[in-house]
A = this chain, B = another copy of it.
Amino acid sequence: MLERIKPGPSERKRLQEVSVALISRIESMAEGCGLELKAMLVGSAARGTWLAGDHDLDVFLGVGVEDDLEKALELARRISPDHREKYAEHPYIQARIDGFEVDLVPCYLVDDASHLRSAVDRTPFHNRYVKLRIAGLEDEVLLLKQFMKGSGVYGSELRVGGFSGYLAELLVLCYGSFAAVIEAASLWKPGLKLDLEGRGRVEQADPLVVVDPVDPGRNVAAALTLNRMLQFALAARTFMARPDIEFFFANPPAPLSDREIEALMEERGTLPLLIEFAAPDVVEDVLYPQLRKAESAVKALLERKGFSILRSDVISYGNRAALLLEMEVWRLSPACRREGPPVWQADHISRFLAAHPKILSGPYIKDGRMVVEEERRYAQAADLLAAELASLSLGRHISASIRSGYKIYAGVELLAIKDDGYRIFLVEYFQARCIRPDAA
């Protein structure tokens, strides 16, 4: 396995050359404009824990005073014409340099991790902590990261909610080897706390707490969701029972033909509803929480009105985004019940009856309240969505996007969208497997 994921000598050499050249170039540019700045290679490239073929470099531009942060950003912009402005907690520059994707991130240089001014300032401390301890365990980290990729749990971005590279490194430091991590993880339950330095200060409610050795108040696994944690535990358990190299490869499914998807839909007999709109121009870590919020709001609306949902998901593909709601009940009887005030509240009763002039049945008394039956406003889930979607609280960017236009696809209409990423999402949605097919 290692042969396939461990960078070879030429890849190592090239990364070494590119990063050294980049760092000295940045520092001389800084000197040229009188900026006091320290460029640092951080992340897996700096620690020898990058996976073969992974051409990402993280270079942090450390400055000492606030005014210099903006100057460092300006300098980063000048390093390559092929760059994009990005924004996580702070602005940074993503550039293509000599075939590498380089994140150039301005940060403060602080003496002590207890004086951090922002999350990015913490990274150099992480780098130092791991570098000092990881020597000899790099291969274990590579195996673990690749296993996590193969199990679909690698990546701490909010879209995934999985394990970061730093978290994988800490797990190897904690347990001692890839095999030991797998063995331990196969028995994991939520509520587990790992504290390498025995300095954890804060009680966290997260399913897994890994105390940050450079900042004991922080949980390195804060972004890990309960389900990803358990997905990893399950993969570890399955792998231990039947070790197989297949566990290290994700093998995304091939897109299915229209006919195959139609057959899947028919078998399920549900009604999938897809609400599709322009993806707001924000990074994934801003987009996905908003998509999840919108998903919750739409589900709550549907359920409040008596519909029911088998499952739902969100996706962004190309410059589009969508909510998928798979309906278990999508049509209700035209007649519905409206409960009014208690019978003894004469004034409220009069107003209630005046507000419901066209009744099918009633008024009658139920549990002490006045009730009428009248025609339901929206007997079809799709009609309800079309009427009320725009007035829901969907998250700032999604709301704006929905207001400028959206489309609802129902049932086989979902096949009108041909995008490959969307089609793979659909297949993965219908399969919904968290255990590898060959291992289940």
Contact = CB atoms under 8 A, between A and B. Distances in A.
Contact of A344 (B233, B271, B336, B337): B233
A343 B186 CA distance: 10
Interface string A110-140: 0000000000000000000000000000000
Interface stretch (A43-51, A275-283, A427-435): A427-435
Interface residues of A, number: 53
A432 B337 CA distance: 12
Contacts of A227: 365-368
A189 B344 contact: yes
A353 B431 CA distance: 16
Given A226-B367, A346-B237, A432-B364, A333 B440 contact: no
Contacts of A175: none
Contacts of A367: 226-227
B363 A434 contact: yes
A333 B270 contact: yes
A91 interface: no
B230 A343 contact: yes
Interface in A349-404: 353, 360-368, 373, 379
Contacts of A431: 361
Interface of A: 187-190, 207, 226-227, 230-231, 233-234, 237, 267-271, 306, 308, 310-311, 327-329, 332-337, 342-344, 346, 353, 360-368, 373, 379, 430-435, 440
The 4 closest A-B pairs by CB, nearest first: A269-B334, A268-B335, A270-B333, A230-B343
